[in-house]
Chain A
Amino acid sequence: MEHKGVWTIAEESEGSLKSVSYELLSRGRKLADALQVELVSVLIGGPVSDERLQELIRRGADRVLFVEDNKLSSFTTETFSNVLSDLIRSRKPEIILAAATVNGRTLMPHVAMKIHAGLTADCTELAIEPETGNLLQTRPAIGGNILATIKSPNHRPQMATVRPRSSKPLDADPARKGSIERIELDPALIDKRVRRVGFINNEGEEGNIQEADVVVSGGKGMKKANNFGMLTELAHQLGGTVGASRDAVDRAWAKYPQQVGLSGKTVTPKLYVAIGISGAIQHLAGMKTADIIVAINSDPDATIFQVSDFGIIGDLFEVVPLLNERLAKEKNR
């Protein structure tokens, strides 16, 4: 049987679908349309209602394949990998996209190794090569210095993880029709060698920088931890959350999950505000794909200005408080 169809891997948490599930569908829809094949949203997880699954169809899926079991409520690599590999072997999709999240970046290489498929990490661009029908996968590499386009001409499925927030979900279309197929978990696929025994949520009220629309980051120019308060204020004014450069994290002014860059997180918000950050190549690697970049820095030669859509050369301790005041006024108008 020939490999056919585009799959995107949905993610679920406590019965709700994560937004990245819909982002992947908007990517998948384009590819499925170009190839004129079915787009399938694959979900492996704990119980989710039909009503919620319908949302996957409204956002572009032709079919939902749902392997549902209480035992799948939290991610474990081995079991999820067994389940997905099993589905791939029996149904033979041609393309599989997953989110380049911690779990996606763990599951996909585990599966790709087993089924001998090519896998491209953290893609920002996907397209079908018209002549061959191959998937063209574009991703930044070497700290964002280059963009490499990669394909897997002789192996199926073609697998890719996709950078979260690098595409927008399609608008929900209530008229779209599709089918939902629930599949029972085969107990033979359960692997108990890794057990999740606890979880501490530390998103706090700030939330996750990778999911925020606006990220306001501070660097070494912030001088001390206390000064991050004005960034929190600015982030709240703009409806966002606070990130940091590695220097700021190393000085314990911010926590590691807030670190943006090569050895931290890659973010693609609508707006990234860099304050007291020089724009080292490793930092740029984590935020260069933001829609809009704004920088405030006292050094006119700071590299960050080269990637900025709007920059202010000035002392952040003067500019940021004034900006906060001005934005507060704007709100009260």
Chain B
Amino acid sequence: MNIVVPIKQVPETSNVKMDPVTGTIIRDGVESIINPLDLYAIETAIQLKETYGGKVTALTMGPPAAEKALREAIAMGCDEGVLVSDRKFSGADTWSTAYVLVHAVKKLDDFDLIIAGERATDGDTGQVGPAMASALDIPLASYISRIDSVRADGMTVERLVEEGYETLEIDLPALLTVVKEISYPRLPTLRGKQKARNTELPVLTAEDLEVEEVYLGLKGSPTRVVKIETPKVTRGGTILKAVDEESMNDAIEELVEFLKTREMI
């Protein structure tokens, strides 16, 4: 089973600090990591390969530094990494990103499965996976929480929806987007890290991909960001201490009063 995993490098936001004066995000010293939700896609792909054979190729579109994400993916157990990088791609929205990734996939060996993350934690859209399936005209199963069985020409999967779980049968080749519930991502091994250091990472540019320039980067993106604001974080609510019996009772009375005035009880 040949599997392609599109991964995105994102800023590590778990300790994002806001500048209290300017209200902007402090980016200095913010590390770049693999989109945490893509780790579940990588893990799922590696497990499938371990069971059914084949190979896993990690694919990323990004600046040259995104190479680091590919090496991390190889250290976890991916076999190959392909970097899609060109200044012309910069500023791409999800439409243009999917367009480029789809053309990159077409340059790779034939695949049975593409496994994308649910969404990237920076842009937070979850649009690239479904858009890729659309452009490749392969069937899509999104928000997949479990793989039940795999056959030569298809698989049975569980899809996490608001009301519960759907069971889907899907023909291969196909694209899945997976949710956190599907796997526990493994840590890179020493041998994996060694392999990652020694693996050559091919770089595909706009020219290699036979893409049309009008669809690339900011210019090729239907959407435009026209304004960025930093929302006020504080609501300045009433905060009461409940340290002893009296203050505890007072705090609860006030809370009940508050909920009444806001018509919650």
Q: Is A87 an interface residue (CB 8 A)?
A: no
B75 within 8 A of A: no
Q: Assess whether B241 is in contact with A199, with CB atoms less than 8 Å apart.
A: no
Find A238's partner among B140, B170, B264 (CB 8 Å cutoff): B264
Chain A stretch 53-111: residues in CB contact (< 8 A) with chain B: 74, 77-78, 81, 101-103, 105-111
Q: A residues 8-67 with Cβ under 8 Å of B?
A: none
B 4-24 to A, binary, CB cutoff 8 A, 1 in contact else 0: 000000010110101000000
For B233, give its contact among A214, A270, A307, A318 (CB under 8 Å): A307
Q: How far is the CB of B151 from chain A (nearest CB, A)?
A: 13
Residues A293 and B248 in contact in the complex (CB < 8 Å), given A142-B13, A270-B264, A314-B241: no
Interface residues of A in 199-246 (CB under 8 A from B): 199-203, 208, 210-211, 214, 237-238
Residues 179-193 of B at the A interface (beta carbon under 8 Å): 179-181
Residues of A126-178 at the interface with B, using a CB-CB cut-off of 8 Å, are 136, 140-155
Q: How many A-B residue pairs have CB under 8 A?
A: 275
Q: Is A185 an interface residue (CB 8 A)?
A: no
Docked Cα-Cα span, A120 to B168, in Å, equals 27
The count of chain A contact residues (Cβ–Cβ below 8 Å) is 91
Does A306 have its Cβ within 8 Å of any Cβ on chain B?
Answer: yes
A9 to B125, CA, bound (A): 19
Partner of A102, one of B94, B125, B142, B229: B142
Judging by beta carbons under 8 Å apart, are B130 and A292 in contact?
no
For A318, what are the chain B residues with a Cβ–Cβ distance below 8 Å? 242, 248
Among B94, B170, B243, find the residue whose CB has the most chain A CB atoms closer than 10 A. B94
**Chain B interface residue count, Cβ-Cβ cutoff 8 angstroms:** 86
Cβ-closest chain A residue relative to B122: A142
Q: Chain A residues near B230 (CB, 8 Å)?
A: 145-147
B153 CB to closest chain A CB (Å) equals 11
Residues of A within 8 A of B (CB): 74, 77-78, 81, 101-103, 105-114, 116-122, 136, 140-155, 191, 193-203, 208, 210-211, 214, 237-238, 256-257, 262-263, 270-271, 280-282, 288, 292-294, 300, 305-315, 318-319, 322-323, 326-327, 330
**Residues on B facing A (Cβ under 8 Å):** 11, 13-14, 16, 18, 25, 36-37, 93-95, 98-99, 121-135, 139-143, 145, 156, 159-171, 174, 179-181, 221-231, 233-235, 237-243, 248-249, 251-256, 258-259, 262, 264-265
